[in-house]
Amino acid sequence: MKRLPKLGLLYLDHVLRFFDKSNFKGWREPIEIVTYHWGNDKDRFISEVKRKKIDVLIGNVPATAYETFREIARELPEVEFVPSLDTQFCNKSKENVTRFSRKYDIPIPNTDIIYEEELIEKYLENADYPRIIKRSYGASNYGGYFVHKVDSSEEAKNLIAKSRYYPLYTQDFVPMEADIRVMLVGHKPVCAFWRRPPEGEWLTNTSQGGSMDYQDVPKEVLDFAVNVSKSANAEYWACDIAVAKGTGDLFLLESATAFAAFPYIRDWIGQYLMWKFGRGLYKLPNIPLYNWEELGKMDSSVLRVLRNITFGEYQPSSDGEFFTGGKVSEKGELIRDCDYHILDTDSEGKKVEEWSSDIYNYQTNFRKNSMKQSDIEEFLK
């Protein structure tokens, strides 16, 4: 009988859990749970992981614990973190999303990040408006409450004085038709939906009055999201993609492994990870492209309790119909489910740190090492 790696689920006190054991239905070995208790808990946590002989530790790390878990991962070189700490680099801050996007040539709104406090006021006085200012820390904008549109330098300076956001993270304002959230498992889109702002407004978040629907997400947007997911080497991923008004240009707004997902999507992620680590004992989930158009017709109160959804393998009949309903791209090409495979991630590549905190933890290193803005400007252009 093949020995399976021992799986562990990573929990943190006071943090919502993304997975539980039920997401790994059918895994034949016991699944361990390890909980990080904050404070001075690092050594105890490392000892518990070693004592339980965990091979694969699964779970998202919040921004407030990211640097600690960088240290923990270095102390546990034989443990595979899923997602890896490099994959979770974007979870920590908007700054990291910018650096990630720059490295992989992913289009984003023009962005400036100012660390040197005496330069912030000067920058705001000379900047073009309107602008977007965001709280950089963390993967979420919490319903849009930490993203602001400012129309003048006075308004911008008042916002910074009140919010005390640091560093200054600001982007050109890009008028949007809408943005699109795409969720992926193994680099395959499994859910996507439009978020549109109310008439005369610019924020698309539903908590701010925005609307959402699941219909006719363009192939170009799905391909954009697949490229972002592959660049992050992500087992599961979500990104928000802006569609610019007038031009239709696409820009990455946010991306992370930490996102709100219905339980059945977390089940699919669990099935995918069982296939990845199951040594041939488990099948990949079959997740047809554009399944979300049909599932999205259900009320959200139903979607929140759906579990373990499975689809059979579809065999096209002689009339050429596909689950995608004959959808075509803007170029007139047929959109086929078989063009979007669920793929494995590169476990070997994860053994080398791509985003070492010794270099990229600017929020700490800038002040600690008495750095100047010019020391990091190469990453911001």
Q: Of 149, 164, 195, 374, which Cα lies nearest the Cα of 296? A: 195
The verdict on whether omega for the bond into residue 130 sits within 30 degrees of 0, i.e. cis, is yes
Question: Domain with 161 in it: what CATH number?
Answer: 3.30.1490
- Single-letter amino acid code for the residue at 182: V
Is 67 part of a structural domain of the chain?
A: yes
DSSP, res 216:
-
Q: Which of 191-200, 217-226, 352-361 has the highest mean pLDDT?
A: 217-226
Is 93 part of a structural domain of the chain?
A: no
Q: Of 181, 207, 340, 198, which Cα lies nearest the Cα of 262? A: 181
Do residues 153 and 14 both lie within one domain?
no
CA angle at 152 for the pair 148 and 155, rounded to the nearest 5°: 60
Do residues 47 and 189 both lie within one domain?
no
Backbone phi, psi, residue 116, to 5°: -80, 110
The verdict on whether omega for the bond into residue 83 sits within 30 degrees of 0, i.e. cis, is yes
Mean of pLDDT values over 42-70? 97
> How many Å apart are CA 227 and CA 230, to the nearest integer?
5
Predicted TM-score (pTM) of this structure: 0.91
User: Among 321, 339, 357, where does a domain finish?
Assistant: 339
pLDDT of residue 207: 62
Over residues 285-331, the pLDDT tens digits come to 999 999 999 999 999 899 999 999 988 876 665 444 455 667 888 77
Least confident of 136-140, 226-230, 234-238, 284-288: 136-140
What domain range includes position 66?
7-82
Do residues 19 and 159 both lie within one domain?
no
Is residue 134 over pLDDT 90? yes
Backbone phi, psi, residue 191, to 5°: -160, 140
DSSP structure string for 79-119: SEEES-TTTTHHHHBHHHHHHHHHHTT-----EEEE--HHH
The total of structural domains in the chain comes to: 3
Measured from the Cβ of residue 184, the count of other Cβ atoms closer than 10 Å reads 27
pLDDT of residue 378: 53
Is 209 part of a structural domain of the chain?
A: yes
Q: Of 15, 5, 142, 141, which Cα lies nearest the Cα of 66? A: 15
